[in-house]
Structures are given as C-alpha cells and as structure tokens.
A and B are shown apart, each in its own frame.
Chain A
C-alpha cells in the first residue's frame, strides 16, 4: 500500500511565491485525480482564505492546533465541481488580527503540543482518511510554525529567487535547518528572467542553482507577466490549463508523484 506524503512549502524570505506554489501544486494534484489537503500554516500573514475566496469558516486550522476541535471540523471541502476523482480540502489560518496576535504570543509548551498535533495528521489524514498529499503553506524564515511544519513533512520544497540575500539565507537554511532534521529538500527557483539582457539561459541557470545549493531542483519558474497581472485572482493550474506556468506545475507534480521515497 502506498501511503500519502506531507509536503511543506517554505522559503527564507517572503514574496518568493510559496502560496502561489502551494495552491497551484494542490490544484495540479487534484487535476491528476489525487485527494489533497492544503493547510495554511502562515498564521502571521494568512492568505489562503483570500485566494480561495472563503470569507468565513466555522473552524480554523488555528482551532485544531489549539486543541479546541478535531481535524475534520477544521477542514473545508472544496471538491464540488471537480470533474475527476480528485478531492480538495483546505484548512485555513484565521486572518483576524486578534487571532494573529493570539498565535504570535504562544509559548514553547504550546508549540510543542502544536508539533504533536501536526505529526498526528499523518495518522488521521494520510492513513485513516486516505489523503494522497498534505501540503503545508508556511511562513518564511525560522518561525515556530514553519519549523513545526518542516519537522512533520516528508518533503520540503524551498521556493527561492536569485535575490542575493535570499540565496545566502536559503543556503544557510539548507545547512542549518533542513539538514539537521534530515529532510528531503528540493528547490523551486521562481521569478527567473530569461530575456536578452540576462547572462544565463535555462541550462546555465540549472547548473548555477545546483552549484549553489547542492540539492535537487524540482522546477524553475520564469517570471510570467500573466501570473503577476492576475493579482492572485486566478488559480492557473485550474483555470489556464494551457499556460506555460501550468505546464511547469504539471511537471513538478509528476516528479513528486514518481519519486516516492
């Protein structure tokens, strides 16, 4: 029996495209007939509720981590209208200022219990409910919630750009965070410019990234004006099936699916 996997999408800096990647990767897996649960662990700057246009939830993912509800109550089923066997569930971080303040003030004991509840999802969602993938959209850098997500994950996808401080920080995190937890890590290089003014073509970019990080590359995403112009209103993997961005996501999902460690 092939068990599902937990994927954490993380980055050193903000604005590298973690949420865009998480949402579109989830949509791609669903398109491929998978049962997926997308969880917002960016409690300091929640954004999934806006992107998925869900204004109110009966229970938030915060409630599950607080121990005030079980996981099935904290999930919203978005499978309506999906034309294949794929299923999509989401657990949202509460975007209310009070909730952000509340979760920012949690102590180490709470974080320890939150880790326990994240680890328990492997049994409750992957083993018992038969999910193929849990995708954690995390906050950037070394935040408690992100490290909890990384510790619980089977695969960490690191979204990065060619920004100098991002490269330095990502390299440090690879050595001092993911390696220490012995995590399988893959890089997604986002917002790459391939125009005539750029010194590098696609192959040079790949070689350069491999040299810098010494970990496998899951994908390279060029800077698409269409994606920026959409302002987060379009889930390309769902609504623009022929777009090159969608094709890249298809390749990434295929790689993950065929690389079950």
Chain B
C-alpha cells in the first residue's frame, strides 16, 4: 500500500468517526428536545403506554404514520421507516425518539444502528 493510499484510508476512517459522532450527538439533541417538550428530565419511558389501536387513533397524524409503520415492520431503523413513509430520515428519527419517550416504542442499539420496535414482553 502506498503512503498516499494509507493517508486516504486514514482520512476515510476519521471522517466516518466524525459522522458517527455527529449522528449520536444529533440523536441526543433530539431526545433532549423531546424531553423538554414533555417537561421531563429522564429518558425512562412512561410505565403504561401500550401501542394499541385506540392510542394510535388518538395520536397526531404525523406520529400515527410513524407508529403504524413500525407496527407493520415489527422492528426498524429510522432509515427503513423513512423509506416507507417517504419522509426524511432526520424527521422520522425525531418522531421515533418522541414515541420512545412517550413509552410507545422501545429502542435498541446494535453497533452503529438504532432499532425501534413495539414492546413485546409478557406475551401470552
């Protein structure tokens, strides 16, 4: 590998790290904004907030669309939801985090990706 190639590879790695950090920062800011909107300080979801159809019906249109897409997909990233709703990824990310804070969705990180899903504990 030439010196130039090594330098290029390093630059790409640094840029990827910066993008990753910016994404994390963006996500934290979205959560902080949502928490502020709901007058809360912690990110613990509300204890009893099942995503049933009556809850879906009472939601504002923009959140219902996101929530229904996650219901249909089962488990999805903001990117996957955005593909279905044809809205921007950043918009979906904000709505998904809002639904997490409201206690309707769960969020799980796997590597660089964040997955959103409907709580399925206590089945039976």
Interface residue ranges, A against B (CB under 8 Å): 66-68, 108-109, 111-113, 115-116, 119, 144, 147-148, 151, 177, 180-182
> Which of chain B's residues has its CB closest to A107's CB?
B50
| Residues of A close to B56: CB separation below 8 A | 151, 181
28 contacts between A and B (CB under 8 A): A67-B124, A68-B124, A108-B50, A108-B55, A109-B50, A109-B52, A111-B52, A111-B54, A112-B52, A112-B118, A116-B74, A116-B118, A119-B71, A119-B72, A119-B74, A144-B52, A144-B53, A147-B54, A147-B57, A148-B53, A151-B53, A151-B56, A151-B68, A151-B71, A180-B57, A180-B61, A181-B64, A181-B68
Whole-angstrom CA separation of A256 from B54 in the bound complex: 29
Known contacts A119-B72, A151-B68; A113 and B120 CB within 8 A of each other: yes
Number of A-B contacts (CB under 8 A): 50
| Residues of A close to B52: CB separation below 8 A | 108-109, 111-112, 115, 144
Q: Mark B85-111, 1 if CB is under 8 A from A, else 0.
A: 000000000000000000000000000
> Which of chain A's residues has its CB closest to B61's CB?
A180
Q: Are A116 and B71 in contact (CB under 8 A)?
A: yes
Interface residue ranges, B against A (CB under 8 Å): 50-57, 61, 64-65, 68, 71-72, 74, 118, 120, 122-124
Tell me the minimal C-beta distance from B72 to chain A in angstroms. 6
Tell me the minimal C-beta distance from B38 to chain A in angstroms. 20
Q: Are A113 and B72 in contact (CB under 8 A)?
A: no
Known contacts A67-B123, A67-B124, A144-B53; A115 and B61 CB within 8 A of each other: no
Q: Are B54 and A113 in contact (CB under 8 A)?
A: no
Whole-angstrom CA separation of A199 from B53 in the bound complex: 41
What would 7 more interface pairs be, CB under 8 Å, given A108-B54, A109-B50, A151-B56?
A67-B124, A108-B52, A109-B52, A112-B50, A112-B52, A148-B53, A182-B65
| Residues of A close to B68: CB separation below 8 A | 151, 181
| Residues of B close to A68: CB separation below 8 A | 124
| Residues of B close to A119: CB separation below 8 A | 71-72, 74
Whole-angstrom CA separation of A113 from B120 in the bound complex: 7
Tell me the minimal C-beta distance from B45 to chain A in angstroms. 14
| Residues of B close to A144: CB separation below 8 A | 52-54
Whole-angstrom CA separation of A108 from B56 in the bound complex: 12
Q: Are A111 and B53 in contact (CB under 8 A)?
A: yes
> Which of chain B's residues has its CB closest to A145's CB?
B53
Q: Are A116 and B124 in contact (CB under 8 A)?
A: no
| Residues of B close to A108: CB separation below 8 A | 50, 52, 54-55
Whole-angstrom CA separation of A109 from B36 in the bound complex: 28
Whole-angstrom CA separation of A67 from B74 in the bound complex: 17
| Residues of A close to B51: CB separation below 8 A | 112
**Which 3 A-B residue pairs are closest in the complex by CB-CB distance?**
A147-B53, A112-B50, A112-B52
